[in-house]
Amino acid sequence: MKKNLLAIAAVVLLGCAVAQADTVISVYSGGISLDGYSTATAGTSADPWSIRETMTSSGILELACDLCAPVGPDDATGIGYLYGKWFQKTILNDSGVDWTSFELELRIDPALPSFDGDGLSFAQGSGLLFSSDKFATYSAIEDIRDYLNFHNGLVAVGESVTFNFAVTDNQTNEPIYLAQTLNRPEVPEPSTLLTLVIGLLGLAGAARRRFV
């Protein structure tokens, strides 16, 4: 009888362990239809977690699991974070308009931008390079908020686009929200914006001296 109880307890504990490691990806809001996903792979750049979607408008995904970081339980990116996984996301454009840019933004609060120091990032400071099959370039901001803005390309209505990127976390943020925004213009990084402002002030000063 005692052996049977121990066996039952072992099965229950094993079931809990499996449940705790089970990452669930779902639609939090907006025009996203989740066509499928897999978190059974290693989550490395060569073997990423995959997500397939259809989008009619911008929206937010939720990544959650029981008692572990959503991108855990380890760092498959190999760059020193506590938690991290590579993702391959394929999205069908069913929005009725062509996409000339696409933005991904990480949040710990679905309504607020991520802040510097929350542990969440797209592999901040690692030097990892991300990619898309339809957009040639991307820009990233890693301090005032965590986003990747893919641009210089086109995804026509009825076409699909694929993104390859890593999500990392140095805390046990759970859940994680991934905001996806269609056709959001590229926002200059703070350093670029500051350089632009200084340049404009310099031009204004030169013009003023010319007419004094």
| pLDDT tens-digit readout, 145-192 | 899 999 999 999 999 999 999 999 999 899 999 999 999 987 655 544
CB 104 within 8 A of CB 61: no
Task: Point out which residues pair with 120 in neighbouring strands.
Answer: 169
pLDDT of residue 210: 53
pLDDT band of 60, cuts 50, 70, 90 = very high
CA distance 127 to 120: 16
| Mean pLDDT, rounded, of the chain | 84
Inter-residue contact 23 to 75 (CB < 8 Å): no
Which one-letter amino acid corresponds to residue 94? D
Does the structure show a pLDDT above 80 at 206? no
